[in-house]
Amino acid sequence: MSLDTAKPMNWFDRLAHPGQFLIWSRRLIWPLAIITVLLFALGLWYAFFNSPEDYQMGDTVRIMYIHVPNAWLSQFCYVLMAMSAIGTLVWRHPMADVSMKAAAPLGAAFTAMALYTGALWGRPTWGTYWEWDGRMTSTLILLLMYLGLIALWRAFDDQLRAAKLIAVLTLVGAINIPVIKFSVDWWNTLHQPASVFRAGGPSMPPSIYIPLFVMTFAFTFLFLTLHLVSMRSEVLRRRVRTLERKQASGAAK
Amino acid sequence: MIDLGPHETFILFAYLGVALVTFGLIGMVAIDARRQKARLAALEAMGVRRRSTGKGPKP
Amino acid sequence: MSAFTALLVRELKLATRASGDVLTLILFFVMVGTITPFAIGPDKVLLARLAPGIIWIAAFLASLLAMDRLFRADHEDGSLLAMRHAALSMEAITLAKLIAHWLTTAVPLIIATPLMAVMLNMDMTIFWRTIVSLALGTPALTAFGAVGAAVTVSLRRGGLIAPVLIMPLSIPILIFGVSAINANAGPGAEMAAMLFLGGISLVATAFVPFAAALALKLTQE
């Protein structure tokens, strides 16, 4: 039997251990950031200079190029939070709750931007800033949920216990995501039914869905970059807290 | 600037708003990261160490 | 008497012993209905149109107010910890508490509804729909409130944040609840809303005990 009883780290351990996470995540930040900038540059060029106006909506289709990515990302972010919540509750994965906490403010921002751009798109196109239809209402509910979760994180002193409780709440609220997704099919009001991810492929011409996809990827990479950096900050923040606590108890001796 | 049609203002406000929030997010995340690193560095300078750090390499 | 029934009886006794609680709740409910005519003007036609919504908002706010006493008292004096080692599962305990809470919160509100309807000049032909919609929708309100209460039970000032957490989940209940009374849509729209409401309540009551029990167990870890 070997004297060195610590087993070598496999890829899963590298993912789970906070210290290891800090090491390998550092190398990812700049590549992700650069890809984000490039995608945005490409997307914006497509959006403004290489895309004709839509025959129905006119130039306001350019708002769609930032509205749809934000809306999609707001849901994707919650799904990520829900999966992190499962990781916390079922597998007790050490980094899962860090991921969940870091995603919340980002998700709130994307949801807010989706509502904002949606209102500005709706006014010239369909005549109204806001309508209480299924999708807008459930997206507003999503924003309120994000903000509630952020408030809850701040209400707890013990962040590790908070993590598990917030995970439960996140999963209960996850019912809203299918509602948002299918609300345009269930209720026939302002939003159009699904036109991108359908069985027969997109129902839009390439001049529209190419800028749309590029911008969606751009925003997604933005989210991934910010999420990674936020997770690192959270790990550091917890270390700082531990050290400050240690310092305070040491000084008391 | 290319002609953006009759609803120019809406398009402009939409992109400006998103740019504001996006850069705001990037700023907040970056400032937070920097602040945590500074606090950690300050604590380590004062000699407070985690059990596992010892003289290990900083991340 | 089975353990479940015993717990149910205990909850009912505790809630009715401090009968000031139930009275406060009804007073709050009625007061919301009283101040709305002051806020929006005494125009009877307007009030009649808004009456279903106002009654539902009042019921919703009153149930938020009452949510705190679902778990907090038992958590603070250690009863919850003791119950955890009982013969009954935590989920069953939560369900018993939910039922007792609904009986002592929602039912008094429903009884006070005629008073509200008169104050708000509600059209009496649709009044019975108000009772049914409240009866169908309040279990869901209680259930979602229980999730919020269970997650925040260990926070000292958790009573303030729990409503904020519960509200997004409860918005659909409000939407269907008011639709069930007066939908202003095609015929049968009210019935559809009632069915939705009943469905949400059933699903919520079925699943919430698991979520709330999990949250309570995690609190005590």
Query: pLDDT digits over A145-169, tens only?
Result: 999 999 999 999 888 889 999 999 9
Instruction: Tell me which of A28, A61, A98, A113 to substitute to probe the interface with B (most B C-beta atoms closer than 10 Å).
Output: A113
User: A3-7, A49-53, C79-83 — which one is most confidently predicted on average?
Assistant: C79-83
Helices (H) and strands (E) in chain C, counts: 9, 0
Distance between CA A143 and CA B21 in Å, rounded?
15
pLDDT of residue A216: 95
Determine A/B contact with 3+ CB pairs under 8 A as the test: yes
- For chain A, say whether B7 makes contact (Cβ under 8 Å): yes
Residue C90, classified by CB atoms within 10 Å of its CB into exposed (0-12), middle (13-18) or buried (19+), is buried
Above pLDDT 70, what percent of chain B? 76
Distance between CA A100 and CA A170 in Å, rounded?
9
Instruction: Answer for the pair C54, C36: CB distance below 8 angstroms, yes or no.
Output: yes
Q: How confident is the model at residue A57 (pLDDT cuts 50, 70, 90)?
A: low
All partners of chain B with 3 or more CB pairs under 8 angstroms: A
Residues A159-197: tens digit of each pLDDT: 888 999 999 999 999 999 988 888 777 766 556 655 555
- For chain A, say whether C178 makes contact (Cβ under 8 Å): no
Chain A CB contacts of C154 under 8 Å are 161, 165
Between A and C, how many residue pairs show a Cβ–Cβ distance under 8 A? 60
* Chain A: residue whose CA lies nearest to B39: A240
pLDDT of residue A226: 96
Q: Which residue has the tokens 């999503």?
A: A142
In 3D space, the residue among A192, A165, A170 whose CA is nearest the CA of residue A107 turns out to be: A170
Residue type, C49: R
- For chain A, say whether B43 makes contact (Cβ under 8 Å): yes
* Chain C: residue whose CA lies nearest to A152: C161
Q: Say whether pLDDT at A12 is over 80.
A: no
pLDDT of residue A197: 55
Do C151 and A89 count as a contact with CB atoms less than 8 A apart? no
Give, in order, the Cα–Cα distances in Å from C202 to each of A235, C98, C134, C142.
41, 13, 14, 12
How far A167 CA lies from chain B's nearest CA (Å)?
23
pTM here is: 0.88
Q: Say whether pLDDT at C143 is over 90.
A: yes
Do A226 and B50 count as a contact with CB atoms less than 8 A apart? no
User: A81-85, A90-94, A153-157, C176-180 — which one is most confidently predicted on average?
Assistant: A81-85
Distance of CA C199 to the CA centre of its chain: 16
Instruction: Answer for the pair C212, C94: CB distance below 8 angstroms, yes or no.
Output: yes
Q: Strand pairing partners for A58?
A: A54
DSSP A193: P
Q: CA angle, A225 as apex, A220 and A229 as ends, to 5°?
A: 145
* Chain A: residue whose CA lies nearest to B9: A120
Domain residue limits at C147: 3-219
Q: How confident is the model at residue B54 (pLDDT cuts 50, 70, 90)?
A: low
pLDDT of residue C22: 83
Distance between CA A80 and CA A44 in Å, rounded?
27
Longest dimension (CA), chain C: 57
B4 or C123: whose pLDDT is higher?
C123
ipTM of the complex: 0.87
pLDDT of residue C57: 93
Task: Considering only the beta carbons, identify the residue of A151, A172, A173 that sits closest to C164.
Answer: A151
Above pLDDT 70, what percent of chain A? 84
Give, in order, the Cα–Cα distances in Å from C122 to each of A33, C50, C112, C215.
60, 8, 14, 41
Mean pLDDT of C93-116: 92
Distance between CA C133 and CA C198 in Å, rounded?
9
How many distinct structural domains can be found in chain C? 1
Helices (H) and strands (E) in chain B, counts: 1, 0
Residue type, A154: R
